[in-house]
Chains A and B, each alone.
Chain A
Amino acid sequence: MSRDFYGWIATLVVLVAVVLVMQGQLSFVITASLFAVFAMSWSFFTSFSGYLNLGHVIFIGLAGYSSAILNYHLGWPMWLCMVLGVVIGTGGGWLYLYPIHRRITGLSFEMVSFLSIVALSNLVVSGLARPVTGGDIGLSPLDGLYSTMPLAVALAVLVCGFGFWYTRYLKSGSGKIVDFARENPGIVRSAGADPHRYTGRLLLLSGLLASIGGVLYVAFTGAAVVSNTFALGLMIRIVVMAIIGGRFSLRGSILGAYLVVFLGMVLMPYVDAFVQFLIIYAIGFVIYFVRPRGLVSVFDGLLERLPWAGRPSHAEKGL
């Protein structure tokens, strides 16, 4: 078994330990795991492809809303709606973002993906879409998921399973091409390969996990509204989580998601939501400048000093 495998098993053990320790606050643990799914999937594409994708919630929103629409309007069983939601979310989000990422590069891609969220969220609540999406009120109630121990453990397994798969992918031939394409797309083109084809695959894999997270988040909250799907605020929270934990590292994104959700839990009795957001944004802003590789770099530095620790792989070190 590889070093990566044991690394992700260790991560799983830590996450399950968190579930066991915090049995009284399972809803927070589940929320943290769902945000870890979002942050890790965002980080996977953004950090390794070199495209700063700020339209990641398109996957989450399409998947979440699709599953909710099927369950709410047609009364189909939730598990089937979730499966179809993942297919629609992954496919639809990819079909929207892939051509844009092919044709528009640099900051304009970031800006277009960022503003797409605003436009899509307005489209969802528009009079045109209201009969289907429920407008501002959204779709509720849905046949949701409950805060249970098996769900919390299953999410930890999902996070670590995808983490392991992503790490293996980044070390595969395709992953290495993506690495080259990020540094110098011209080299990849001159070797006869299309760099967008490989970054497109990365986008697809990233979208798959985000869509799974999207349907689970909607099912867990029991409602599909803009605030838990297409919202600009949700996107920024995901970005801030990745920045705090370490956006160039898959485990860093998980760490960031847990820290931000638990910080929110601690602050909740004392301050209102906007003060919480302000504190979280401020922490993200400071970490972005003081420690651009995030808090996980502190642990990485310590681990590298251990006598038995080998040199971390390129994928683990990130960019």
Chain B
Amino acid sequence: MHDVVYVLVYGVIFASLYGIMTVGFSLICGLGGFYDITLPAYLMVGAFALVKLSPYLSHWSVVVVAIGMGALCLGHYYVFIRPQRENPYRVFLATILLALGVESVMAILFTYGYTFKLSPMLPGSVDLLGVAVRRELVLGGIIGWVALFALRYLSAHTNMGRAIIAIPQSTRGSQVVGLDVVKIQMLVYFMGGLLLGIGAYFYGGYIGVSVHMWVYPMIIMFTITTLGGLGSIKGIMYATLLVGLLEVGVVTFIDPRLREFIILGVAVVFLIYRPRGIAGARIG
């Protein structure tokens, strides 16, 4: 019974962390109809920036890094994505090369194979339903779910939010009614960068900061996007919960190293039998 409670508690917390890391990626995929593989690599860049800045700026480093990540993603969009956004294959291949390039730069700048630790904002742990959870993770979980619900509210009650939801359903139609797709993509890249910065702190703080840390989030981002459906924040919320619980369940009851295989397997099954995901547009 304790194991089941453990899976539920950690599953919900991880779901929120994955949610804030993925929401930008998923909205970008929905808006542009392409996969930008560089975003998970930028998560690693954010985490390394936190390693460097946190001794000087303490907790403010998270704010600085989040804004910096927003600016980085915006610049990335402007320089690399915007000129070729009409060709999803080109974006896909180019961003893979860019992501590997970013990994190589980080491996040169920081010791390869070494895992850095981020000092926690909130030391210690709390007891949740008989399960000891680090305060830091609880904070991350709360921030994550608040961010997801806030985005859900904004997407339903503001024109910009409605535009973000409308564009994946029909880009041409959205342009016809006067929506500026490039402007909205830029906004989403900035917002996605901000959330990646916050995600980098909590995720990096939990697993440690290393050169390889971006690969697993890439699988998570893809799976959540596939399960949730492109451009659907409601879908992301359901999918993130499903993935969080599945991941902790696999790690607890089966084998930690099989988690990628099982999570990807779920994504493949969804792609085959329900390509539009839980609540979104059809992919591909």
Contact = CB atoms under 8 A, between A and B. Distances in A.
Interface in B93-135: 93-94, 96-98, 100-101, 104-105, 107-108, 112
Contacts of B77: none
Nearest to A281: B101
Contact of B107 (A104, A110, A127, A274): A274
A5 interface: no
Contacts of B219: 115, 118-119
Contacts of A112: 264, 267-268, 271
B222 A111 contact: yes
A104 B272 contact: yes
A270 to B, nearest CB: 14
B92 A107 contact: yes
Given A118-B219, A277-B100, A278-B105, A108 B260 contact: no
A120 B261 contact: yes
A305 interface: no
- Nearest 3 CB-CB pairs, A to B? A106-B284, A126-B257, A278-B104
A240 B284 CA distance: 24
Interface stretch (A60-68, A72-80, A282-290): A282-290
A278 B97 contact: no
Of A54, A114, A282, the most chain B CB neighbours within 10 A belong to A114
A267 interface: no
B215 A108 contact: no
B34 A107 contact: yes
A127 B269 CA distance: 25
A282 B258 contact: no
A116 interface: yes
Nearest to A128: B255
Contacts of B100: 233, 236, 277, 281
Contacts of B236: none
A36 interface: no
Contacts, number: 114
Given A110-B92, A274-B107, A284-B97, A104 B261 contact: no
Interface string A26-63: 00000000000000000000000000101000000000
A100 interface: yes
Given A123-B257, A274-B104, A104 B264 contact: no
A232 B34 contact: no
A89 B29 CA distance: 34
Contacts of B107: 274
Contacts of A109: 284
Contacts of B257: 122-123, 125-128
B213 interface: no
A115 B92 contact: no
17 contacts: A103-B272, A104-B268, A106-B284, A107-B33, A107-B34, A107-B35, A107-B92, A108-B271, A115-B264, A118-B215, A119-B265, A120-B261, A232-B215, A272-B108, A281-B97, A285-B98, A289-B94
Interface in A257-287: 272, 274-275, 277-278, 281-282, 284-285
Interface of B: 33-35, 88-90, 92-94, 96-98, 100-101, 104-105, 107-108, 112, 215-216, 218-219, 222, 226, 255, 257-258, 260-261, 264-265, 267-268, 271-272, 275, 283-284
Contacts of B33: 107
B89 A107 contact: yes
Given A107-B284, A126-B255, 19 more contacts: A104-B268, A106-B88, A107-B92, A112-B267, A115-B218, A115-B264, A116-B264, A118-B218, A119-B265, A123-B257, A123-B258, A123-B261, A232-B215, A239-B93, A272-B108, A274-B107, A282-B101, A285-B97, A288-B97
Contacts of B96: 54, 114, 236, 239
B88 to A, nearest CB: 6
A115 B222 contact: yes
Contacts of A232: 215
A2 interface: no
Interface string A207-238: 00000000000000000000000001100100
